[in-house]
Amino acid sequence: MSLHQCSETPAKSPRIAVLAGSALGVVFGDIGTSPLYTFKTVLSLSGHDPTPSVVLGLLSLIIWTLILVTSLKYAAFAMRIDNHGEGGIMALMSLLVRKGKGGRWVIFAALIGAALIYGDGAITPAISVLSALEGLTIVIPESHPYILPLTVVILLVLFCIQPFGTAKIGKVFGPIMALWFFVIAALGIWGIIQYPAVLLAVNPWYGMTFLLSNGFVSFMVLGGVFLCVTGAEALYADMGHFGKKPIWFAWYGVVFPALVLNYAGQSALILAGADSKHNIFFLLCPPVLQVPLILLATLATIIASQAIITGAFSMTRQAILLGWLPRLRIKQTAAESYGQIYIGVINGLLMVVTIGLVIFFKSSDKLAAAYGIAVSLTMLMTSGLLFVAMREVWRWSLLSSALIALVFLIIDTSFLVANMIKVLEGGYIPLLLAAVICTVMVIWNRGIKAVSRAVGEKGIGIDQFFAQLKADDIPRVPGSAVFLTRTQHNTPPVMHWHVARNRALQRNVFSLTIDILNVPYVDPRQRMVITPRAPNYWHGVAQYGFMEHPNVPHLLQGMGEMKDLFASDDVTYYVGHETIVARESATGMASWQRSAFAFMQRNCTHVINHYHLPSDRVVEISRRVAI
Considering 446, 479, 495, which residue would you say is the last residue of a domain? 446
- For 486-516, what is each residue's pLDDT tens digit? 888 889 989 998 998 899 999 999 999 999 9
Which residues on adjacent β-strands are paired with residue 538?
510, 532
Same domain, 368 and 469: no
Quick one: three-class SS letters along 10-37? Answer: CCCHHHHHHHHHHHHHHCCHHHHCHHHC
Q: What is the pLDDT of residue 364?
A: 85
Count of structural domains, the chain? 2
- For 54-72, what is each residue's pLDDT tens digit? 999 999 999 999 999 999 9
Q: What is the pLDDT of residue 167?
A: 66
CATH number at residue 223: 1.20.1740.10
From residue 145, alpha-carbon distances to 141, 142, 356 in Å are: 9, 7, 18
**Euclidean distance between CA atoms 313 and 556, whole angstroms:** 28
Same domain, 374 and 439: yes
**Euclidean distance between CA atoms 409 and 385, whole angstroms:** 11
From residue 32, alpha-carbon distances to 69, 290, 301 in Å are: 15, 19, 9
Same domain, 54 and 193: yes
Q: Is residue 10 situated within a structural domain?
A: no
Q: Is residue 548 situated within a structural domain?
A: yes
Same domain, 475 and 405: no
Same domain, 191 and 313: yes
Q: Is the pLDDT of residue 360 over 60?
A: yes
Q: Quote the domain boundaries for residue 591.
A: 457-626
Q: What is the pLDDT of residue 401?
A: 93
- For 423-459, what is each residue's pLDDT tens digit? 888 888 888 888 999 999 999 999 998 888 887 766 7
- For 304-331, what is each residue's pLDDT tens digit? 898 888 888 888 988 898 889 999 988 8
Using 50, 70 and 90 to split pLDDT, how confident is the model at 296? very high
Beta strand 505-516 with 528-534 is unpaired
Residue range 347-358: mean pLDDT, rounded: 93
Same domain, 383 and 480: no
Using 50, 70 and 90 to split pLDDT, how confident is the model at 338? low
- For 151-184, what is each residue's pLDDT tens digit? 999 999 999 988 887 766 777 888 999 999 999 9
Same domain, 173 and 288: yes
For residue 347, which amino acid is it?
N
Please state at what angle helix 38-46 crosses helix 256-271, rounded to 10 degrees.
Answer: 40
Q: Is residue 68 situated within a structural domain?
A: yes
Q: What is the largest CA-CA distance in the chain?
A: 96
Please state at what angle helix 373-392 crosses helix 398-420, rounded to 10 degrees.
Answer: 170
Q: For 143, how many CA atoms within 13 A lie in the half-sphere containing its CB?
A: 12
Same domain, 425 and 482: no
Using 50, 70 and 90 to split pLDDT, how confident is the model at 122? confident
Same domain, 414 and 510: no
Instruction: Please classify residue 459 by burial: count the beta carbons closer than 10 Å to its beta carbon, then call 0-12 exposed, 13-18 middle and 19+ buried.
Output: middle
- DSSP per-residue codes, 151-163: HHHHHHHHHHTGG
Considering 446, 480, 500, which residue would you say is the last residue of a domain? 446
- For 454-482, what is each residue's pLDDT tens digit? 877 667 889 999 999 999 999 999 999 99
**Euclidean distance between CA atoms 577 and 143, whole angstroms:** 56
Q: Is the pLDDT of residue 413 over 90?
A: yes
Q: Is residue 90 situated within a structural domain?
A: yes
Q: Is residue 6 situated within a structural domain?
A: no
Length of the chain as a residue count: 627
Residue range 544-551: mean pLDDT, rounded: 88
Q: Is residue 4 situated within a structural domain?
A: no
pTM (2 decimals)?
0.85
What 3-state class would DSSP assign to 604? coil
**Euclidean distance between CA atoms 121 and 115, whole angstroms:** 10
Q: Is the pLDDT of residue 336 over 70?
A: no
**Euclidean distance between CA atoms 165 and 170, whole angstroms:** 9
Question: Mean pLDDT of all residues in the chain?
Answer: 88
Considering 446, 478, 499, which residue would you say is the last residue of a domain? 446
Nearest to 46 by CA among 271, 211, 283: 211
Same domain, 504 and 442: no
Using 50, 70 and 90 to split pLDDT, how confident is the model at 624? confident
Q: What is the pLDDT of residue 79?
A: 92
Same domain, 434 and 483: no
Residue range 514-532: mean pLDDT, rounded: 90
Q: Is residue 609 situated within a structural domain?
A: yes
**Cβ-based neighbours of 100, under 8 Å, separated by 6 or more:** none
Q: Is residue 12 situated within a structural domain?
A: no
Same domain, 83 and 193: yes
Output 339 or 125, whichever has higher pLDDT: 125
